[in-house]
Chains A and B, each alone.
Chain A
């Protein structure tokens, strides 16, 4: 049973990560693959605040998410002001740099990882309660992404992706919108990190490296970029597959590279066979509810 719970939590966290990343790379069209670093910030900040500073876990989790959000603004604002192309470089630099720093200072547990993270909810309300919490956050994330994507904000993002210059000439502030989406998406990743940390009670810097970037990107691309359900399908697939591989009883040294190959392979297969992903997005932006009739004769 515990194994099933763990798998459900991993899938739900995958859904939060993939859906929030879909907002950034899909709907806002921002080129960045550094999503895991904000996942890491949420995990480390929440874990350290709760473990070493006596902050109650729920408060620490929220602060973890806010820290991820603040960090993402600090990365995105200067680079997006210059040009969209700098975001990729700035964010990867930030990801590599911060993880390197975590490995080399002692209060984070260094490369060996952060241990003894205080648990939450499990001792008092049981494992089921924690599963429900994480699944609830995943459901809310999906609903939130959907309402943004198909509301007035999503319409504006669609126009911005089509033609940023024409968009600006109408009075729309493209940089502000990009930073806002990047911050929201990164904050959600931070929340996912905090939820991870207080369940597994152990995090290491290496789990937030490029392999994780590839995994999240694969979830979005294989599932279907710029769709509500694509990242959900992608997350289920990509979290379940590695679990299936572990059943093969292969040596640990092989598992990591094998997963990496799997992600790359999947992306390549999909690029040729079904570039739109499992769930295909329409080219056309649609409002959430068919709004009142426009009186088509």
Chain B
């Protein structure tokens, strides 16, 4: 079991609010870790710290043994870190397919000079990216809506687009922020299968989720967060059964 993402002693506070308090967390290849905790516990903030949306006050983050905590967001993604967002953040002016086309770790058309001096190369890699995007859409059950604009889909499908877009990175580590919130029926099963397949391919996955059934069925391990702290770590069933944690979770 090899460590892919290692977080050590991560601290972050916004004024008086502590969102990360000496967090240690390791994500390993092929395993799905469920991150649970009440609203405001700091789960999304942890993802934001890892992906570099805002800097940590202290601590280190390594991806495949290399420090990434000083890198800008886009550089971390280029090293093989991908994520989704609790509030979707799809690109409304793009079709589903084009949302995915922007997602590969190295984007063929990102450099203007390439468009001038390496047109053939850009075209080849566009075609390749397109094939991969169509393949991912197939796997996520979205092939039929490839040319639809994301905003016209059902909420569940939009959540799937978010995950599909993150898969384009072919990342080493995937962070999913509440992928099941608002998702039901067909999309629910698809989401489970997709996450399971991604982990099976050797990706280290971390899922923030309130849906207990989803976490229990899918995760190899659970991590309980509260007030910026990791309070417990272990089999999901044990965490759910712990009365102390349930009390914190439901805030009685």
Contact = CB atoms under 8 A, between A and B. Distances in A.
Contact of B110 (A153, A168, A283): A153
Nearest to B77: A171
A176 B114 CA distance: 14
Interface stretch (B15-23, B89-97, B197-205): B89-97
Interface string B47-77: 0000101000000000000000000111001
A285 B93 CA distance: 6
A254 interface: no
Contacts of A156: 102, 107, 109-110
B53 A165 contact: yes
A122 B53 CA distance: 56
B93 to A, nearest CB: 5
A52 interface: no
Most buried by B among A159, A165, A181, A291: A159
B115 interface: yes
Contacts of A295: 134, 143, 146
B122 interface: yes
Given A156-B107, A169-B51, A284-B149, A162 B134 contact: no
A72 B15 CA distance: 38
Contacts of A181: 112
A68 to B, nearest CB: 16
Contact of B91 (A151, A158, A176): A158
A297 B91 CA distance: 24
Given A152-B108, A152-B122, A165-B53, A170 B169 contact: yes
Interface in B146-166: 146-147, 149, 165
A81 B33 CA distance: 35
B193 to A, nearest CB: 21
Contact of B74 (A147, A148, A172): A172
A153 B112 contact: yes
A174 B94 contact: no
In terms of DSSP, what is the predominant structure of the interface of chain A? helix
A184 interface: yes
Contacts of B216: none
Contacts of A153: 109-110, 112, 115
Contacts of B74: 168-174
A202 interface: no
B137 to A, nearest CB: 8
B222 interface: no
Contacts of B103: 170-171
A171 B77 CA distance: 5
A268 B47 CA distance: 45
A166 B112 contact: no
A291 B101 CA distance: 13
Given A171-B74, A296-B147, A166 B85 contact: yes
Nearest to B99: A159
A282 B140 CA distance: 28
Nearest to B109: A152
B31 interface: no
A170 B106 CA distance: 9
A158 B97 contact: no
A294 interface: yes
A161 interface: yes
Contacts of B91: 158-159, 162-163, 166-167
B105 interface: yes
A161 B134 contact: no
A146 interface: no
Contacts of B241: none
Nearest to B100: A170
Contacts of B89: 163, 165-166
A295 B108 CA distance: 23
A171 B94 contact: no
B143 A172 contact: no
Contact of A171 (B78, B92, B97, B99): B78
A283 B93 contact: yes
A83 B169 CA distance: 26
Interface of A: 147-148, 151-153, 155-156, 158-159, 161-163, 165-174, 176-177, 180-181, 184, 283-285, 291-292, 294-297
11 contacts: A151-B122, A155-B102, A163-B90, A166-B85, A168-B72, A170-B77, A171-B74, A171-B103, A171-B106, A284-B95, A296-B146
